[in-house]
C-alpha cells in the first residue's frame, strides 16, 4: 500500500445507541498513527441510531453503514454478522468496538505496536470503567494466561480486541463454517479468545488501559462491581447459562490447530465438573476468580443428576 500507516478495520455493533455513539465514533476517528475505517452494523433501533449512522457515513469517507440485516437480539450475533460480511482484505488489522465507550487516542497504535513487536496475533487490554456519578475503576484482566482460561472466560472486554489480518481471516472462516452453531454463543469476545488459543494463535493482554469503559443500565455485560452485579453473575452461573456456554464454546473449538481433544478438560458430567474445581488454577486467571470457580464447580457437581 502507498500509505505506510497501519490500516485498521473497526467493526462496530450498535443498538439504541444515540446517547453515546457520537462520542464513541469521534474517539475512533481521532486515533493516532493508524488509518481507520469504521464498519457499523445496527440492530433495528427505535431511537434514531440507524438514521444518525447513515448521516455519519455520508459525512465521513471512512465510515460505512452496512445494510440492515437484523434483528440480532444481542451484540454477539451482530458482531458475527460484521465478521462474516466485512471484507478485511485491504487491511492489516481488525478491531472490535462497542457503541458507548471512549477510546484513548493511542489505543490502536499501542495495540498495533504490541502485535508487531512480539509476533502476537491477538491483543486486548485493561480498561477504566466509569459511571454517570463520576466513579472510575481499573478493570484488571491482565493476569497471566493459564492452561484453560480461554474455555471459561474472555481475554477482557471485546471492545479492546485487535486482531492481525491472518487471525481475523481464520476466525471469519471459523464463523462461516459454524454459522448455525455459533448463534447460540452469547459472548463473541469469549468465543474469539477461545478460538485463538485453541487454534494456536498467540494473545497478549495489555495491563495499560486503552479506553474508558462506560457503565450504564443498558450494558449487556458490564463490570463485575457491586452487590447487584455479583448477584446477576452468580445467577447466570447457577441457572445453567454459564455452563451451557462453556460446553458450547468447548465443543466448537475442540480439535483446532495441533491441540488434541484429550488435552482439554471435560465439561460434562458430575465427576468432570468436580475435577474442574480441583484444577481451578488452570481455568481462571485471577486468584479470586479461581476460588469462586472452585466453589461453583463443587456445588454444581453435587447438584447434577
**Mean pLDDT along residues 256-267:** 79
**Are 185 and 250 members of one domain?**
no
**Are 160 and 282 members of one domain?**
no
| Secondary structure (DSSP) of 102-132 | EE-TTHHHHHHHHHHHTT-SEEEE-EEEE-T
**Are 33 and 87 members of one domain?**
yes
pLDDT band at 207 (very low <50, low <70, confident <90, very high): very high
pLDDT digits (tens, 9 = 90+) for 169-198: 999 999 999 999 999 999 999 999 999 999
Chain mean position to CA 126: 12
**Are 147 and 243 members of one domain?**
no
**Are 108 and 233 members of one domain?**
no
**Are 133 and 252 members of one domain?**
no
CB 162 within 8 A of CB 112: yes
pLDDT, position 255? 87
pLDDT band at 219 (very low <50, low <70, confident <90, very high): low
How many residues make up the chain in this entry? 305
Domain finish residue from 214, 241, 268: 214
pLDDT band at 231 (very low <50, low <70, confident <90, very high): low
Which structural domain range is residue 43 located in?
7-214
Nearest residue to 25 via CA among 97, 128, 91, 126: 97
Please report whether residue 2 resides in a domain.
no
**Are 83 and 179 members of one domain?**
yes
pLDDT digits (tens, 9 = 90+) for 73-88: 999 999 999 999 999 9
Residues 6 or more apart whose Cβ sits within 8 Å of residue 22: 52, 56
pTM assigned to the model: 0.93
pLDDT, position 138? 97
**Mean pLDDT along residues 95-107:** 98
pLDDT band at 1 (very low <50, low <70, confident <90, very high): very low
Domain finish residue from 214, 243, 274: 214
pLDDT, position 117? 87
Domain finish residue from 185, 214, 243: 214
Establish how many alpha carbons lie within 13 A of residue 208's alpha carbon, considering only the half-sphere containing its beta carbon.
11
**Mean pLDDT along residues 277-300:** 94
Count the domains in the chain. 2
Chain mean position to CA 300: 26
Secondary structure element (H or E) that encloses residue 40, with its range = strand 35-42
pLDDT, position 4? 85
Q: What CATH number did the domain enclosing 155 receive? A: 3.90.550.10
Residue 127 in this model has a pLDDT that exceeds 90: yes
Distance CA 247, CA 159 (A): 24
**Are 91 and 210 members of one domain?**
yes
Amino acid at each position: 500500500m502507498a500509505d505506510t500507516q497501519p490500516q485498521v478495520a473497526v467493526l462496530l455493533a450498535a443498538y439504541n445507541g444515540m446517547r453515546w455513539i457520537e462520542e464513541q465514533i469521534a474517539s475512533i476517528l481521532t486515533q493516532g498513527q493508524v488509518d481507520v475505517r469504521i464498519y457499523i452494523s445496527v440492530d433495528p433501533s427505535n431511537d434514531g441510531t440507524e438514521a444518525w449512522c447513515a448521516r455519519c457515513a455520508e459525512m465521513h469517507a471512512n465510515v460505512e453503514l452496512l445494510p440492515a440485516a437484523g434483528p440480532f437480539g444481542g451484540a454477539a450475533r451482530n458482531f458475527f454478522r460484521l465478521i462474516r460480511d466485512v471484507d478485511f482484505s485491504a487491511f492489516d488489522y481488525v478491531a472490535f468496538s462497542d457503541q458507548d465507550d471512549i477510546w484513548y487516542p493511542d489505543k490502536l497504535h499501542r495495540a498495533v505496536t504490541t502485535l508487531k513487536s512480539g509476533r502476537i496475533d491477538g491483543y486486548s487490554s485493561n480498561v477504566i470503567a466509569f459511571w454517570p456519578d463520576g466513579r472510575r475503576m481499573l478493570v484488571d484482566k491482565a493476569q497471566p494466561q493459564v492452561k484453560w482460561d480461554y474455555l471459561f472466560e474472555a481475554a477482557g472486554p471485546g471492545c479492546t480486541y485487535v486482531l492481525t489480518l491472518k487471525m481475523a481471516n481464520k476466525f471469519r472462516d471459523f464463523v462461516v463454517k459454524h454459522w448455525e452453531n455459533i448463534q447460540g454463543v452469547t459472548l463473541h469476545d469469549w468465543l474469539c479468545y477461545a478460538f485463538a488459543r485453541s487454534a494456536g494463535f498467540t494473545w497478549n493482554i495489555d495491563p495499560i488501559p486503552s479506553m474508558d469503559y462506560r457503565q450504564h443500565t443498558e450494558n449487556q455485560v458490564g463490570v463485575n462491581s457491586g452487590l447487584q452485579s455479583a448477584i446477576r453473575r452468580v445467577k447466570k452461573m447457577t441457572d445453567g447459562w454459564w455452563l451451557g456456554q462453556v460446553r458450547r464454546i468447548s465443543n466448537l473449538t475442540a480439535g483446532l490447530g495441533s491441540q488434541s481433544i484429550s488435552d482439554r478438560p471435560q465439561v460434562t458430567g458430575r465427576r468432570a465438573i468436580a475435577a474442574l474445581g480441583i484444577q481451578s488454577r488452570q481455568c481462571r486467571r485471577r486468584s479470586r476468580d479461581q476460588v469462586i470457580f472452585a466453589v461453583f464447580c463443587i456445588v454444581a457437581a453435587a447438584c447434577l443428576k
